[in-house]
């Protein structure tokens, strides 16, 4: 699976599956997000919680065990019925949670967690980063308000290549 997206150029969806491209984006986001030191101490495990069923055809689970800086990435699958998001650094909400994603975002509150999804209008409706498929390319949009409220920081070069940035 490809995990380096060069200069963050949108990749044509025909080169890899859409799920693989979205997983690669998520991995790269994890590399560039800055968490407060108390939320992610040096060498601590970086926890990606995946909420939903059959999310991205298992492409996110393939990230488990990868290294992000000094952190080992662990992927934990969650169901809405037994949702436990404390300790999650990233939360990817799958399309199966379309009807419940606003409740999940509310559950996160201002925890130091980056919320991500490929649900339509995710970022517009209060999520951190929404992944989109446009013209056969995977793009992303960012909502800075929940990211700032979580105490997280995204570098300017990442924001410059987002298709849309809300809350500048």
Whether 59 maps to a domain, the answer reads yes
Whether 161 maps to a domain, the answer reads yes
Cα distance between residue 73 and residue 58, in whole Å: 15
Structural domain containing residue 28: 18-166
Residue 84's pLDDT band, with cuts at 50, 70 and 90, is confident
Whether 11 maps to a domain, the answer reads no
| Residue 27: φ, ψ to 5° | -60, -45
Share of the chain above pLDDT 70, in %: 91
Q: What per-residue confidence (pLDDT) applies to 3?
A: 37
Q: Name the more confident of 168 and 113.
A: 113
Whether 3 maps to a domain, the answer reads no
Cα distance between residue 91 and residue 134, in whole Å: 23
Q: What is the CATH number of the domain that holds 108?
A: 3.40.50.2300
pTM above 0.75, yes or no: yes
Residue 25 neighbours by CB under 8 Å, 6+ apart: 5, 131, 138, 140
* 97 and 104 Cβ atoms separated by less than 8 Å: yes
Whether 76 maps to a domain, the answer reads yes
pLDDT tens sequence across 100-150? 999 999 999 999 999 999 999 999 999 999 999 999 899 999 999 999 999
Whether 13 maps to a domain, the answer reads no
């Amino acid at each position: 699976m490809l995990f380096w997206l060069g200069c963050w150029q949108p990749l044509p969806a025909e080169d890899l599956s859409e799920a693989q491209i979205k997983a690669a984006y998520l991995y790269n986001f994890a590399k560039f997000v800055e968490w407060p030191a108390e939320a992610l101490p040096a060498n601590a495990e970086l926890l990606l919680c995946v909420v939903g069923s059959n999310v991205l055809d298992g492409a996110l689970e393939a990230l488990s065990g990868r290294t992000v800086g000094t952190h080992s990435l662990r992927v934990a699958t969650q169901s809405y019925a037994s949702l436990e998001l404390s300790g999650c650094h990233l939360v990817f909400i799958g399309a199966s949670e379309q009807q419940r994603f606003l409740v999940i975002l509310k559950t996160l509150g201002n925890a130091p967690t980056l919320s991500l999804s490929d649900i339509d209008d995710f970022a517009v409706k209060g999520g951190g980063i929404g992944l989109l498929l446009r013209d056969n390319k995977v793009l992303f949009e960012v909502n800075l308000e929940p990211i700032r409220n979580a105490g997280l920081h995204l570098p300017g070069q990442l924001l410059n290549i987002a298709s849309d940035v809300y809350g500048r």
